[in-house]
Structure 1
Amino acid sequence: MTLNNEKQKINDQLGNPIVIGIVVIWRVVNTAKAVFNVDNYTEFLSIQTDAALRNIVRVYPYDVSNEDNEKSLRGSSQEVADKLKTEIQANVEVAGLEILEARITHLAYAPEIASVMLQRQQASAIIDARQMIVEGAVGMVEMALAKLNENDIVHLDEERKAAMVSNLLVVLCGNKDAQPIVNSGSLY
């Protein structure tokens, strides 16, 4: 049988309110326990599922940044599902029920913080992209300086080298296309 509990609002590990739904696939394996140990085993399963869901959700954050190796509700769905199944099974053993599968069916930030959390995710993505651009630009500048020295194309003093590095980084890291400037004077 399948139990599809109502979505509920729970705070994650960081205290952020999230809306989460769960589906549980189960069966009765001991009819005597199911009939005599609880009044209504379906209702009992629903209550135990909600309790297990609250316990597990409080242990994980909704999401974590990419460089962290932390587990999260969004990124560790199989681990979360396994823990849910184990906890629900332990809670419903007395009712003679077997949990075959427990999965999160809905996961979202609560409406009151959803837009702010979206902005936070977007800001994090922009920072990650900028970091990648800067790392690439620095590598390209290092390569350019090495090639100039290797091929003995031009000899630059430290001041000229610094100016070149600055110009290259501006061009490589900028949001707009480079605008060429013609220098009609001497290099020195």
Structure 2
Amino acid sequence: MKELTVRSLPGIPALLGLILLIVLAIVVFIAGVQQPQPVVVIAGILLAVVAMVSLGGFYMVEPNQAAVLSLFGKYVGTVKEQGLRWNNPFYSAQKVSLRVRNFESGKLKVNDSDGSPIEIGAVIVWQVVDSAEAVYNVDDYESFVHIQSEAALRAMATSYPYDLHDDGRIALRSHATEISKHLTDEIQERLAQAGVHVIEARISHLAYAPEIAQAMLQRQQASAIIAARTRIVEGAVSMVEMALEQLSARNVVELDPERRAVMVSNLLVVLCGERGTQPVVNAGSIY
């Protein structure tokens, strides 16, 4: 089922024409009664009936709205011209909004690709681009959009880990652009038959499930501490190496292997310690 454009008449001229037709019917009817002429009376009544039936052909189309017309259950076409319109009075018109709409899914509880339970929610921006498909291909296109969007969100969430790993995989928390594109494509694939275009889909809520949130927080803290310690040790080793090289190059002091080891140990303690060190000053020996 694809959308077809059908012509419609402007409503104001059609309304004026029907008013004139009603006035004419009244005049003819009165003239037939006064003569009297039964044929003229019947003609006046028929004109009045035609005018009254034709009044059922008026309908209003608002901006960014479409009217889907059908005749006795058969799709006729779609009218998108805004304002008061007139068509065959036996057409039934169903209004479909073409405006951009959005909704936020509920917080869904799913398992990521690592099996960890997480909570995830998304904001989906969409609009109807084919009114015929939206009306006739699915039963209730708005409900269809909501349910299929949540199903696509669940499927997408199970394809990625929550957090970034060392293997370079895309993660839900760290690759917002890639995740948004995948989610948009996943929803669009499910909604294509409903005449709906998905403009954007982005994650609005992402968190570990409450039962493992505390454990995962400790894991993240441990990873952050290890990363910080690794950086501190790398910097400290570089500084110790630079200090020994400069002492040797400038002939400040000659250190045997044992004293070099002691000096390296002391420097590493000073540079890698969490608290400030208290120096011990050697004032020499009395002997």
Cα distance change, pair 179–68 in 1 and its aligned pair in 2 (3 A) = farther
Task: State the TM-score, normalizing by the size of structure 2.
Answer: 0.62
Alignment match, 2:239: 140
Determine whether 1:51 maps to 2:144. Answer: no
Alignment match, 1:20: 120
Offset of 1:182 from its aligned partner? 2.6
Determine whether 1:126 maps to 2:225. Answer: yes
Q: Rg: which structure is higher?
A: 2
Query: C-alpha root-mean-square deviation of aligned residues, in Å?
Result: 1.3
Determine whether 1:71 maps to 2:170. Answer: yes
Offset of 1:87 from its aligned partner? 1.1
Determine whether 1:168 maps to 2:267. Answer: yes
Determine whether 1:93 maps to 2:192. Answer: yes
One-letter code of the match for 1:53? L
Alpha-carbon displacement from aligned partner over 1:129-168 (angstroms, at most 9, x marks no partner): 1111111110110011001101001111111111111111
One-letter code of the match for 1:74? R
Determine whether 1:110 maps to 2:234. Answer: no
Q: Post-superposition, which runs of at least 4 consecutive aligned residues in structure 1 deviate over 3 A?
A: none
One-letter code of the match for 2:129? V
Task: State the TM-score, normalizing by the size of structure 1.
Answer: 0.94
One-letter code of the match for 1:58? T
CA contact (8 A) 2:111 2:117 kept: yes
Cα distance in 1 between the residues matched to 2:148 and 2:223 = 37
Offset of 1:3 from its aligned partner? 2.2
The one of 120, 134, 143 aligned to 1:34: 134
Alpha-carbon displacement from aligned partner over 1:62-105 (angstroms, at most 9, x marks no partner): 1115x653211111111111111111111111111111111111
Cα distance in 2 between the residues matched to 1:174 and 1:2 = 53
SS at match of 2:199: strand
Instruction: Tell me how many residue pairs correspond in the alignment.
Output: 185
- Identity value in percent: 56
Offset of 1:111 from its aligned partner? 0.9
Q: Which has the higher contact order (CA 8 A, sep 6+)?
A: 1
Name structure 2 gaps, 5 residues minimum: 1-100
Cα distance in 1 between the residues matched to 2:164 and 2:183 = 20
CA contact (8 A) 2:108 2:154 kept: no
Q: Which has the higher strand share?
A: 2
The one of 134, 149, 152 aligned to 2:251: 152
Cα distance change, pair 132–68 in 1 and its aligned pair in 2 (3 A) = farther
